[in-house]
């Protein structure tokens, strides 16, 4: 079976990938909107440029989170092991980490969508 990334990349750091992507997406969207609305002479006054930029950053963040979720699903054993994974074995720790990463990826996916929603509804900077 073809693998997108090697199995060695699955470590404790993969648990934090999706929440970090969401946090960076949040910062980029809201800091970018703040700068855009406060300094119109710096980036222009066309609000659609900001909306397109937020959309592009959102699609990139969602793609990264889906990749993280696929890695987590692989680490979880493609759902073959039912929770709880509470035995003190390496296999159960790996399954638990994969399951927790998958849940965090789902939460981060929804959080990225909710972070980008204001760009969908607002059509101009509010003062």
pTM of the prediction?
Answer: 0.81
pLDDT tens for the chain, 127 residues long, are: 445 555 555 567 778 899 999 999 999 999 998 888 888 776 667 888 889 999 999 999 999 999 988 888 887 766 666 666 566 676 677 777 888 888 999 999 999 999 999 988 888 887 6
The answer to whether the CB of 61 falls within 8 A of the CB of 123 is: no
State how far the Cα of 48 lies from the Cα of 40, in Å rounded to an integer.
13
Q: Report how far apart, in Å, the C-alpha atoms of 69 and of each of 33, 45, 52, 102, 119 are.
A: 28, 37, 25, 5, 25
């Amino acid at each position: 079976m073809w693998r997108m990334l090697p199995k060695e990349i699955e470590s404790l750091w993969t648990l934090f990938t999706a929440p970090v992507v969401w946090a960076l997406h949040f910062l980029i969207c809201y800091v970018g909107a703040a700068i855009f609305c406060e300094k119109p002479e710096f980036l222009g006054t066309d609000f659609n440029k900001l909306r397109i930029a937020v959309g592009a950053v959102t699609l990139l963040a969602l793609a990264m989170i889906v990749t993280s979720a696929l890695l987590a699903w692989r680490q979880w054993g493609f759902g073959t092991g039912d929770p709880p994974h509470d035995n003190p074995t390496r296999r159960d720790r790996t399954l638990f980490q994969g399951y927790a990463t998958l849940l965090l990826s789902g939460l981060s996916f929804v959080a990225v969508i909710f972070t980008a929603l204001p760009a969908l509804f607002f059509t101009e900077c509010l003062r």
